[in-house]
Amino acid sequence: MIGKIAKYVAYTAGVLGLFLYVLFLVDMVNADQLFDWSMELFWVLFIAAAALMLIFMAKELFSARAIRGTIGGILGLALIIFIAYLISDSNVVGTRYTAETAKWVGTGLWTLYLLFIASLCVILYTEVGKLLR
């Protein structure tokens, strides 16, 4: 169903683009108007494509078979961010940033470090598991 809708939207956009091109060729539209209309068409199509992508992503993300993994991944990431927030420092070196900003920057850095270490552990576990088989 969505595939048919996407196909008709693509056909409509193509016909509209061809129509704008013909208007430009017969000098009914100047280049500035054509550019403005083309940019408006681009943004409409871009927003439509982003909306369809989000709909498909949400449909697959929250399907019955993937809901456990989705919730586990979200909770795991939230736990890592919480731990990073707890261990980050709020000391301010200069007067340019507040203590709260320094705390959140530290949280971001610690989250990066923890996710990097976790990914290295998973890679090593996978490779060692392959070697032992």
Which pLDDT does position 51 carry in this prediction? 86
Closest C-alpha to 5, from 75, 56, 58, 80:
56
Q: Please indicate whether residue 65 or residue 82 has the higher confidence score (pLDDT).
A: 82
Regarding whether 76 and 53 lie in a shared domain, the answer is: no
pLDDT above 70 coverage of the chain, percent: 95
pLDDT band for 14, please (50, 70, 90 cuts).
confident
Give pLDDT tens digits for 120-133: 999 999 999 999 98
Which pLDDT does position 59 carry in this prediction? 77
Q: How far apart are CA 92 and CA 40, in angstroms?
A: 45
Regarding whether 79 and 29 lie in a shared domain, the answer is: no
Q: How many domains does the chain have?
A: 2
Query: Among 15, 30, 61, where does a domain finish?
Result: 61
Give pLDDT tens digits for 32-46: 777 787 788 888 888
Regarding whether 71 and 56 lie in a shared domain, the answer is: no
Is the pLDDT confidence value at 89 over 80?
A: yes
Note down the domain range covering 89: 67-132
Token pair 């890679």: residue: 123
Query: Among 44, 61, 78, where does a domain finish?
Result: 61
Regarding whether 49 and 7 lie in a shared domain, the answer is: yes
